[in-house]
């Protein structure tokens, strides 16, 4: 039987607290249900677990303006548009967590839904639907995340897989245009920095 190759975050993480972040992220992957982990080689579910962990881990390193929340008690919404690649992974990763004082809520959107109250929008629908969603939130304080393979420009974060590792690019200029700031620490972890789109 061929050895299974796990899809993991990058091996090198710069910064003083990088070892702690890597340990936390790897712990989330290792704590995934055994059946899900065992099936990862064939259905890509381990990749989804890693991406789900990233979605949550991005949040402490991004500064949202106060206008991003209707009130101090409003939830922090992580929204998924299109075919959901995560299954139960998001719930497992996010169970009991908060982003600052906000409880985390997962919203799964249909194409016609408005992503206006999302703080993070992961869009993995068709190219046309993703482009439309990015257009709808243009200028709004929403951290947009897509797959590089879709070939759609305009997202602040783009995932891709290289050498069996989930990697991401960042566009800090796009985030700033939406009233958000991406920390230098998160920028240092990106595989590439986009010059704006």
Kindly list the domain boundaries of the chain, sorted by start residue. Answer: 18-193
Q: 192 Cβ partners below 8 Å, 6+ apart?
A: 169, 170
- CATH topology classification for 18-193: Rossmann fold (3.40.50)
pLDDT band at residue 11 using 50, 70 and 90 as cut-offs:
very low
Whether the Cβ atoms of residue 98 and residue 76 lie closer than 8 Å to each other:
yes
User: Mean pLDDT, to the nearest integer, of 124-145?
Assistant: 91
User: Would you say residue 12 has pLDDT above 70?
Assistant: no
Provide the pLDDT confidence category of residue 72 given band limits of 50, 70 and 90.
confident
CB 72 within 8 A of CB 103: no
Residues 6+ apart with CB under 8 A from 6: 29, 40, 46, 164
Range with the lowest mean pLDDT among 53-57, 81-85, 142-146, 158-162? 81-85
Rounded to whole angstroms, the Cα distance separating 146 from 61 reads: 18
What average pLDDT does this structure show over 129-133?
A: 90
pLDDT at 196: 62
Among the listed residues 60, 51, 79, 98, the one whose alpha carbon sits nearest the alpha carbon of residue 186: 60
């Amino acid at each position: 039987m061929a050895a299974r190759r796990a899809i993991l975050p990058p091996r090198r993480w710069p910064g003083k607290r990088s070892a702690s972040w890597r340990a936390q992220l790897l712990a989330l992957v290792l704590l995934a249900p055994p059946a899900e982990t065992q099936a990862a080689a064939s259905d890509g579910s381990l990749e989804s677990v890693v991406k789900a962990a990233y979605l949550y881990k991005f949040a402490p390193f991004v500064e949202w303006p106060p206008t991003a929340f209707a009130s101090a008690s409003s939830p922090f919404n992580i929204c998924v548009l299109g075919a959901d690649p995560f299954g139960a992974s998001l719930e497992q990763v996010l169970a009991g967590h908060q982003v600052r004082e906000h409880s985390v809520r997962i919203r799964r959107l249909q194409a016609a839904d408005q992503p206006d109250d999302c703080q993070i929008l992961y869009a993995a629908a068709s190219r046309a639907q993703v482009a439309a969603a990015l257009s709808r939130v243009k200028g709004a304080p929403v951290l947009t995340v897509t797959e590089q393979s879709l070939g759609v420009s305009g997202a602040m974060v783009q995932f891709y897989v290289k050498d069996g590792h989930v990697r991401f690019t960042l566009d800090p200029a796009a985030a700033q245009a939406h009233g958000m700031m991406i920390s230098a620490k998160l920028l240092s972890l990106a595989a590439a920095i986009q010059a704006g789109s």
